[in-house]
Amino acid sequence: MAQVIEMPKLSDTMAVGTVVKWHKTKGDTVSNGDILAEIETDKATMELENFDEGVLLDIIVEEGHEAPIGSPLAIVGDQNEDISSLIPSENIKDETTPVEKNKEIKIESSEEKLLSPEVSSSESSLQDIIAEPNILNKNDNERVLASPLAKKIALENNITLSTIKGSGPRGRIIKKDLVKPVESTDETILSAAQPIASYSESSVGILSEKMIPVSNMRKVIASRLLESKTTIPHFYLQKEINAQSIRLARSAINEKLARIQEYTDSQPLKITVNDLILKACAETIKWHPQINTSWEIEEIKYHKDVNLAFGVAIDDGLLTPVIRKADTLSLSSLSGEAKELIEKARTKKLMPEEMIGSTFTVTNLGMFGVDFFNGIINPPNAAILSVGASRKKAVIGPEGNIIAGETMMLGLTCDHRLVDGAVAASFLKSLAENLENPSSMLV
């Protein structure tokens, strides 16, 4: 008997999910344990596992489309089994021709806004809209075989799909054919997806008017940041520190690691400045317990472990994976965990449990050349550390003379319900001492 595969609830805050990719196509034989699809939640991209033996008889939600929890995604059953009663009425295919279907998409959908911003509605005919290259090929008489997500990406980046060779089933154009233009030799993709590369004095820029659906991740980010700024009384401190010591310490550590790896044939490991900052935070927080608290309305919760969250920028926004019990980890172990979480974040493989339970957050925009900024508190944390870029500048030497130096700006944002100014200042002072004298973290 046919079984309906439904949208599962993959996180506590998930309301809807988006089908990023189908790993099986209609008509494929599937077994228990097979991965059917990848589902994007409000936190990460998860795999949809199959639990029924049979054939994938129908795919109800195509790639790039979202569906609420519990709604049907696909149907698995016996070959040639009648599943008409299981298909939602809105998914029953009609006899509309491709051109008529294109008209419906163009005219009735308020979300896709397919009319090119360069051409006003008064200057465009209906035929011009129907024959848009995203939908039809060069001959304007048959549809380009492309996933909905690929069409969406092409529309947003003004890419002509008819010039793209698809790598999916039957030559279908899929997301990966469009999202890595720098690796392609196709000049059409390069010029469309990277208009800045063709910048000249006569260029009018790359601005265009368009409407892009808000992703589940962006909705959650917006909700949490709004809640943070409107319900938490933020206050801010900043401190400029000597960054030369931490840079020299990193170089010395990496030289030693290189020698160790040469003798042991172990996996290469390089410590980053961010690793040292995370380590310094973990070591400092151990002696400033009020920084490691959460507001519980009637109580203040003191956490016994330092669970460090840190920001990882991805295309859809910012993820904050968590290094658990960071205060118990060696520098190399902490660095290894951070690198593993960064890789998972960038490949959308982070599990929901890897992004919850933090007690302190570090956000570093120094790598992007930002000198200083103030982060927004990541609830339920009591504070967040902002790290700016390291800059070479003239400083006052130990004997009062002006010498060449290197400094870095740290910003500390605190929840005033949990942390007072004196407590925050004491923590920031201790953190600066650990960063300016990395050897002090050895005791």
pLDDT tens by residue, 282-300: 999 999 999 999 999 899 9
pLDDT at 135: 41
pLDDT band of residue 432 (cuts 50, 70, 90) is very high
* 201 vs 402: which has the higher pLDDT: 402
* 15 vs 96: which has the higher pLDDT: 15
Verify that 271 and 390 share a domain, yes or no: yes
Lowest mean pLDDT among 2-16, 70-84, 187-201: 187-201
Lowest mean pLDDT among 55-59, 186-190, 213-217: 186-190
Lowest mean pLDDT among 11-20, 32-41, 192-201: 192-201
Tell me the mean pLDDT in the region 310-321.
Answer: 88
**Residue 416 annotated among the catalytic residues of the structure:** yes
**For residue 85, what is the domain's CATH number?**
2.40.50.100
Whether residue 208 contacts residue 117, with contact meaning beta carbons closer than 8 Å, is answered with: yes
Verify that 64 and 115 share a domain, yes or no: no
pLDDT at 306: 97
Tell me the mean pLDDT in the region 16-37.
Answer: 88
Verify that 51 and 176 share a domain, yes or no: no
> Which is the catalytic residue, given 23, 288, 303, 416?
416
pLDDT at 218: 83
* pTM recorded for the entire structure: 0.63
Verify that 287 and 398 share a domain, yes or no: yes
Which of 179, 213, 247 is the last residue in one of the domains?
213
Number of domains in the chain: 3
Verify that 221 and 207 share a domain, yes or no: no
Verify that 36 and 169 share a domain, yes or no: no
pLDDT at 89: 62
pLDDT at 183: 38
**For residue 360, what is the domain's CATH number?**
3.30.559.10
Which of 213, 235, 268 is the last residue in one of the domains?
213
Q: Give the mean pLDDT of the chain.
A: 80
Lowest mean pLDDT among 63-67, 281-285, 333-337: 63-67
Angle between helices 273-285 and 331-346 (to 10 degrees): 120
User: Is residue 21 over pLDDT 60?
Assistant: yes
pLDDT at 92: 46
Verify that 131 and 247 share a domain, yes or no: no
Contacts of 151 (CB under 8 A, 6+ apart): 64, 134, 135, 161
